[in-house]
A and B are shown apart, each in its own frame.
Chain A
Amino acid sequence: MNNIQKNRLKDQIFKVWGIGCTLFALILLAFFIGDILIDGIMRIDWAFIIDLPSRKPEKAGIYTALMGSIWILFLTTIIAFPIGVAAGVYLEEYSKKNRLSAILEINISNLAGVPSIIYGLLGLEVFVRIMGLGASVLAGSLTLSLLILPIIIVATREAIKAVPKSIKDASYALGASKWQTIWNQVLPASSGGILTGVILALSRAVGETAPLIVVGALAYVPFAPESPMDDFSVLPIQIFNWISRPQHGFIENAAAAIIILLLITFIMNGIAVYFRNKWQKKLK
């Protein structure tokens, strides 16, 4: 066998290996989703979505948890979005490239890797106890905001970096100030990338359980939250609660709730992909 044949063979082997690895991951996912669907799809109806929690599995619904998740999503968005984007803009456009900014940069990357339960402990101490917010939706949202801030900051910076320098130059050369250039050129041109990052970060937040348990989200709340200071539960906690019960009916409920949660995250990721594609086309 000569060299060319050897290389071709290696090529083939690697190709098969790659296909195998991809299939392995996909099959696992398909198996999981299939299993969940079989268990839960029959349980999903309108009543399941608008019913309050109950001791009887066939009567229980996800209304309070779903509303809790929506509250969390809403508050986390309005807290984390402006702060994260502003921090990203500052780091990319304003801060001088010196040692301080290098330290900031490394630490923001580190923050993105901190286990979420640590954020829960931080939220418990700072928001629940020191600021006296109690186990409220607001405290939970602030905690999740901290958790996803590094992701939003990093995504914002990457999106801003992708804006061609020539566009900024053109803006400056026409007499635009730094802020005008950022507001009129940099942010519009990077908005797709920023939105993608924000949505992906939020879809992570909506699936978080550990930090919210630490902050004090309840497994059972009789009513949906009506203000930021109310007690709350969220879908992942509801799922966790149902799975830990012995009755088979609750297992079905859990599977159904998982389907709803997956649906929410899939839709959010879909929107993110849509924005990213639109954005890439625009910059080309």
Chain B
Amino acid sequence: MAKEIEINMETITEQIPGKLIDPSLKKKSKIEVKDVKVWYDDFNAIKGIDMNIKPNTVTAFIGPSGCGKSTFLRLFNRMNDYIEGFRMEGKIKINGDNIYKKKVNVEELRKEIGMVFQKPNPFPKSIFDNVAYGLKIQGITDKQLIEERVIYCLKQVALWDEVKDDLKKSGMALSGGQQQRLCIARTLAVQPSIILMDEPTSALDPISTAKVEELIFKLKEKYTIIIVTHNMQQASRISDYTAFFYLGELIEYNKTKTIFTNPEKQQTENYITGRFG
């Protein structure tokens, strides 16, 4: 396992099932949201949102707690489906296909759209098995391929040097920041084109946060990233676009620079300057 494996991206030109591919060569993932409304039983959590998200950008969702930004984020990989009383109207198209059509295979969808959670949640398994899990559930048994992919992904998140000697150690024995990077590596291993991040650094210390932010910046070249954050500085540092949500509505959505320097709406300005929320 310790042997280094060179990964030559130039030799790989198309998607072969199971083979490592450079995500930047994959189809660009355009997201279109049309008049989406969400209810939890009688509670109207999202009240009609339209939004387009460009490929290979980082989009930050900001807004006070309970404004629906996490709910909205979890629509893209249909993680709300498990919540009792969840009901949704409208369309979300990814590469032109409505992901809420009846025929959609949710498992396939989630391989295309990865997710990183608020609290680092590694499986109570070894570091290696954590990253390999997504491949194993796809029925991939080729040991060499799994090994290559695990090493590649751990390198992508800059965790390889820290863990290469104890890949058999439990993922839960790592520090919080390492755990979160492990969770990102685990997500990358399934080769998604979109990565959803739900406050990925809110449980981390500043140094680990900086590492994760750096990573997000690097991943942007290859992936479309949507990140929910409560940290205004973080949104302004890492995102290209920012969306401000309030009480289930999209108040303002624009280039991050514009939102933070010259917002159109008073509400947005009040929020980002800390006058409420």
Contact = CB atoms under 8 A, between A and B. Distances in A.
Interface string B67-99: 000000000010100101000000000000000
Nearest to B138: A175
Interface in A107-129: none
Contacts of A160: none
Nearest to B116: A173
B73 to A, nearest CB: 12
Contacts of B84: 97
Nearest to B183: A170
A172 B117 contact: no
Contacts of A283: 124
Contact of A171 (B108, B111, B133): B133
Interface residues of A, number: 21
Given A166-B117, A184-B133, A172 B110 contact: yes
Interface string A80-101: 0000000000000000010000
A54 interface: no
Contact of B108 (A97, A173, A175, A282): A175
Interface string A153-189: 0000000000010110111111111001000110011
Given A173-B114, A174-B110, 11 more contacts: A166-B121, A167-B123, A170-B123, A172-B79, A173-B187, A174-B111, A175-B110, A175-B134, A175-B138, A180-B137, A189-B124
Interface of A: 97, 164, 166-167, 169-177, 180, 184-185, 188-189, 282-284
Interface of B: 77, 79, 82, 84, 107-111, 114-115, 117, 119, 121-124, 133-134, 136-138, 172, 183, 186-187, 190
6 contacts: A164-B121, A170-B117, A172-B110, A173-B115, A173-B117, A175-B137
